[in-house]
Amino acid sequence: MSSSFWSVTQSLMGASLYTLGLFVITLIFAIPLGLGVCVLARSKFKPLRAVMRVIIWIIRGTPLMLQIVLFVYAPGLLFGISVSDRFIWVALAFVINYAAYFAEIYRGGIESIPVGQYEAGKVLGFSKKQTFSKIIMPQLVKRIVPPMGNEVITLIKDTSLANVVGIAEIIITAKDITNTTGAIWPIFYTGVFYLIFSGIMTLVLQWIEKKLNYYR
């Protein structure tokens, strides 16, 4: 494999599509799934609430790397199911993992809103659904953006864990180039990629926070 700057750039940019794809898929599915998990974890039906909280505890209490390995290899070892596309199973592991973290962020945001806000909805004649959508949700979004932003930045770096099961994301590709050519600089190239990616998302998140601070 050539170690020229252009050929390495092409290889790494191609591998970055796995990183970007995993990032986008995780956010698209984990954000709404996290809200659903939060609703179930706050259910008035105690057995369901207990089960969901145990599931959240297990997911948040075990390493994401372990979960990736289990999602990729457990179906074949336990049920004889052939895993034809590892990326799908890795993405599923990411979605479930981040949904658990997002669920806790939603829960914290909901519980931080004063009870008086719900009472105000009743006074205005709103139903529970209307109270949540018109009064609670706007406040909830403002409260959860900073912690959600932290998780988004963490997700950018966590995508590198996909290489544990052989997904050709950007870091493992750079490592292969280094092993083949002896050039160390592709490794540092990946560091620049993550810095730029994180920097862009940080600016986006700061813009969102600024837009939501409409009382300032």
- Higher pLDDT residue, 213 or 170? 170
Q: What is the mean pLDDT of residues 88-94?
A: 94
* CB contact burial 124-136 (16+ within 10 A = b; e otherwise): eebeeeebeeebb
Q: What is the mean pLDDT of residues 95-118?
A: 90
Average model confidence (pLDDT) for the chain? 87
Give the contacts of 191 (CB within 8 A, at least 6 positions apart).
none
Helix (H, G, I), strand (E, B) or coil at 1: coil
Question: Considering the entire predicted model, what is its pTM?
Answer: 0.88
Q: Among all chains, which residue has been given the structure tokens 């909280």?
A: 53
Distance CA 54, CA 49 (A): 9
**Residues 19-74 pLDDT 10s:** 999 999 999 999 999 999 999 999 889 999 999 999 999 999 999 999 999 998 88
| DSSP notation for 40-102 | HHT-SSHHHHHHHHHHHHHHHHS-HHHHHHHHHHHHHHHH----S-HHHHHHHHHHHHHHHHH
Q: What is the mean pLDDT of residues 119-140?
A: 81
Distance CA 12, CA 75 (A): 31
Per-domain residue ranges of the chain: 5-212
pLDDT at residue 93 above 90?
yes
pLDDT at residue 175 above 50?
yes
pLDDT at 1: 46
Distance CA 154, CA 198 (A): 9
- The DSSP output letter for 25 is H
* Share above pLDDT 70 across residues of the chain, in percent, rounded to a whole number: 96
| Lowest mean pLDDT across 98-112, 150-164, 180-194 | 180-194
pLDDT at residue 112 above 60?
yes
pLDDT category of residue 213 using cuts at 50, 70 and 90: confident
pLDDT category of residue 211 using cuts at 50, 70 and 90: confident
What are the respective helix, strand and coil percentages of the chain, to the nearest 5?
85, 0, 15
Angle at which helices 5-41 and 170-181 cross, to 10°:
150
Distance CA 133, CA 139 (A): 10
pLDDT at residue 189 above 80?
yes
| CATH superfamily assigned to domain 5-212 | MetI-like (1.10.3720.10)
* Sign for the pseudo-dihedral over CA of 44, 48, 50, 53: negative
Cβ–Cβ under 8 Å, residues 105 and 142? no
